[in-house]
A and B are shown apart, each in its own frame.
Chain A
Amino acid sequence: MQNNPPIISLKNVHKYFGDFHALRNINLDVEEGQKIVVCGPSGSGKSTMIRCVNGLEQHDEGTIMVNGHTMSSDEKIGNLIRQEVGMVFQSFNLFPHMKVLDNLTMAQRMVRQKTKAEARDTGMKLLERVGIAAQADKFPSQLSGGQQQRVAIARALCMNPKVMLFDEPTSALDPEMISEVLDVMTELARDGMTMICVTHEMGFARSVADRIVFMDQGEIVETGEPETFFANPAHARTRAFLDQIISH
């Protein structure tokens, strides 16, 4: 199994915001094709950790390797990594002044140097895949939250990434729209995408994740396969957290 080096590898990573120690000695390896779910209370550093993976935040100590490159503050290396790592945000962040299809084609043309026709082709295929090809010529504000988030996933997939990062992709959605986004993510997982998902959707975690990472106060408290993680959490902090989110 361990023939290939992990596609993502965090070693002794620390991150500070001023005096606040946001990440404490994070160690995490992700193999190609693995699905990792990261959970934990708010402020535990989950988002910060995945934002360090694609360099949206700069880590202060330790090493982060992504797809063979060592993350640094050098913009060129950061971009090289980001080109292969897709990211989906809690607040969708679709470019509001561009139509849906243009949201999908812009980076393809600028970063991948595709022609307009190629980019539109890829864009339409991915919109079909997430089930919203009919909305291609609308503006993001005309779409529901769930549709916008699916567009955002399609936009990231347009770049043909090796890894997808999800930063609480369903937290800003109305309850009835959560499943349409999770369905897309589940399908993506089935297709073999390497994924790191920060989410509180435990049903999704149980069915999709290879490993669940529990974070609290900036450190990884516990890592485990879903069955053991839910049935038999090793740490009291994990148990307390699970009790809280499952009691509702």
Chain B
Amino acid sequence: MQEVMNWSDEFLAGTFVIIKLFFISLVMVITWGLLGATAKLSNSRIARGIANGFTVLCRGTPEFLLLLIVYFGSAVTLTSIARAINPEIRFLDIPPFWAGAFAISLVIGAYATETFRGAFLGIDKGYIEAAKALGMTRFQVFWKLRVPMMWRLALPGFGNHLLSLLKDTALVSVIGVEGILFTAQQASSVNHKPFTMYLTVAFIFLALSTVIVVTMKCVEKYAYRHLEAAR
């Protein structure tokens, strides 16, 4: 226990890092998911093609690998561009935190694309027609009806994605983001208590995922209050 307490500040800081990573990725996940699902359901063949490519690529490769490719790929590209302008520069990269958030969001966003697409398809066409008949534009119908109806249908699947997203934040320690796994690695290399250190990490993840599960339960209850009321 003392070993953990010795590193408590670092663990706490690491926890905040992954929480921040989680929320920033989450915003991107929702963006990719909405864009992807809308593209897949659109009439444009190009949009559908791009969205299909996105989901095939990002669901079909290990997230760990994608993370490395995004970070090192962007670093190599940026460095070579920078060197072309100024040969003095040795190395240039996207901050690992942002590269990590982006890479993770691509993977979970690809899954969210499919979840959102299914949910969009689950909306009864009658509601959309009713809104159209009232003179609402396609844009208004999308934001005022399709999205609010879609997210309710997407909730159960989306809850799973949130858990995956949280767990994927552990991966970013490999590119040097100082999350809790990074802390545990550092600590165990000093105090040689890897089991205790990694167990601590596990507990922190478990605590955070419990928060997500409970939150999702409340959100679902809120989302379906209009049906609850009828019983």
Residues of chain A at the chain B interface (Cβ within 8 Å): 54, 56, 75, 79-80, 82-87, 89, 91, 93-98, 106-107, 110-111, 138-142, 152, 155-156, 159
Contact = CB atoms under 8 A, between A and B. Distances in A.
A86 B132 CA distance: 10
Nearest to A152: B130
Interface of B: 124, 126-127, 129-138, 140, 144-145, 148-149, 152, 223, 225-227, 229-230
Given A107-B135, A110-B136, A111-B135, A139 B226 contact: yes
B131 A107 contact: yes
Nearest to B128: A93
Nearest to A82: B135
A141 B229 contact: yes
The secondary structure that dominates the B interface is helix
A139 B124 CA distance: 17
A113 to B, nearest CB: 12
A89 B148 contact: no
A82 B132 contact: yes
A231 to B, nearest CB: 35
Given A79-B137, A83-B135, A95-B127, A110 B230 contact: no
Nearest to B224: A97
Given A93-B126, A97-B226, 17 more contacts: A56-B132, A56-B133, A82-B132, A83-B135, A87-B133, A89-B130, A106-B134, A106-B144, A107-B134, A107-B135, A107-B136, A111-B140, A139-B230, A141-B226, A141-B227, A141-B229, A155-B134
B129 A110 contact: no
A126 B141 CA distance: 23
Contacts of B132: 56, 82
B136 A111 contact: yes
B130 A95 contact: yes
Nearest to A140: B226
B226 A86 contact: no
Contacts of A84: 135
A91 B136 CA distance: 19
